[in-house]
């Protein structure tokens, strides 16, 4: 499996990262970060709204030396909260994320949502404030405090608003899996040199996840003696889409990065064709 992807500015980002959404509590964070690093993850994804940046920062400070790792070995991503959209607000929020994570720089910083907290979707201030945030990210990027910048949950129209930006997004992180293909968005990102990164690669986060129970996914998992989750992660990475599986189960943490098997073109096509919401 390809292990990393080169962003449009030449920065290399691991293809499989460790997601931390809804993972909280100091003891839990320390446990999963250590397990992830031991399993081989070299990319950690967090966000201000996750409420776990400080614990992740402490966990990395403790675990990296124990495992013989240095800062340059780990790719760290965080995101701007919808509460902090705006030129000065963005700068302050970025500095706070750095402080919470106990870092001198970030590898990737994203605008988490195109909207602004408490504003209605059709409020024109959303566009004005997110564009102000982007201008601040450009400044931060040029200062060297972040190696790459991007967005999350942006549609084609949101990305088109940035066509005349000095720096185009290096990454757009969105929901992507066989039940939600977002073909137009994926193609647009490709045409603009924006790396397409997936969250929720295993489908919906509800308890009865229909994607993990899909007959096509289960058939391929049985065929290749691996888990349904591994099948779905491999399907994405084979397309050059980076993924961010999350888990607090150490066995699953290890499994999700062990994608050392092959799916045929026919297998990959079968997965793409189970989509129910393209």
Handedness of CA 23, 140, 100, 64 (dihedral sign): positive
Q: Are 244 and 218 in contact (CB under 8 A)?
A: no
What are residue 77's phi and psi, to 5 degrees? -115, 140
Catalytic residue status for 41: no
Query: Does 252 show up as a binding residue in the annotation?
Result: no
Cα 151 to Cα 13: distance, rounded to the nearest angstrom: 15
Quickly list DSSP for 208-260. Answer: S-TTTT-HHHHHHHHHTTS-HHHHHHHHHHTTT-EE----S-HHHHHHTT---
Cα 106 to Cα 227: distance, rounded to the nearest angstrom: 33
Active-site hit among 50, 154, 199, 234? 50
Cα 183 to Cα 46: distance, rounded to the nearest angstrom: 26
Q: Are 211 and 178 in contact (CB under 8 A)?
A: yes
Cα 62 to Cα 16: distance, rounded to the nearest angstrom: 22
| The token pair that represents 250 in the structure block | 């150490």
List the 108-111 sheet strands across, edge first: 18-19, 43-45, 75-80, 108-111, 149-152, 171-175, 195-199, 242-243
Residue 16 pairs in a beta bridge with 243
Name the residues annotated as catalytic. Answer: 50
Query: Which residue ranges make up the annotated binding site for substrate?
Result: 112
């Amino acid at each position: 499996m390809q292990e990393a992807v080169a962003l449009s500015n030449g920065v290399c980002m691991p293809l499989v990262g460790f997601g931390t959404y809804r993972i909280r509590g100091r003891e839990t964070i320390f446990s999963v970060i250590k397990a992830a690093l031991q399993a081989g993850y070299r990319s950690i994804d967090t966000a201000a709204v996750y409420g776990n940046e400080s614990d992740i920062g402490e966990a990395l400070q403790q675990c990296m030396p124990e495992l013989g790792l240095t800062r340059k070995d780990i790719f760290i991503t965080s995101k701007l909260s919808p509460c902090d959209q705006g030129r000065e607000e963005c700068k302050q929020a970025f500095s706070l994320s750095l402080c919470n994570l106990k870092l001198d720089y970030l590898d990737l910083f994203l605008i988490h949502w195109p909207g602004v907290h408490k504003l209605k979707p059709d409020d024109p201030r959303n566009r004005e404030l997110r564009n102000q945030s982007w201008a601040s990210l450009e400044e931060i990027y040029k200062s060297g405090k972040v190696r790459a910048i991007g967005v999350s949950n942006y549609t084609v129209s949101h990305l088109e608003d940035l066509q005349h930006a000095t720096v185009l997004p290096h990454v757009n992180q969105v929901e992507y899996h066989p039940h939600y293909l977002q073909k137009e968005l994926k193609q647009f990102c490709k045409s603009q040199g924006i790396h397409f990164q997936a969250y929720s690669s295993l489908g919906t986060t509800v308890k009865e996840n229909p994607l993990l129970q899909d007959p096509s996914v289960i058939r391929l998992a049985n065929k290749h003696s691996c888990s349904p989750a591994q099948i779905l992660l491999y399907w994405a990475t084979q397309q050059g889409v980076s993924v961010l599986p999350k888990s607090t189960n150490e066995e699953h943490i290890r499994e999700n990065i062990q994608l050392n098997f092959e799916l045929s073109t026919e297998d990959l096509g079968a997965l793409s064709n189970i989509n129910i919401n393209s």
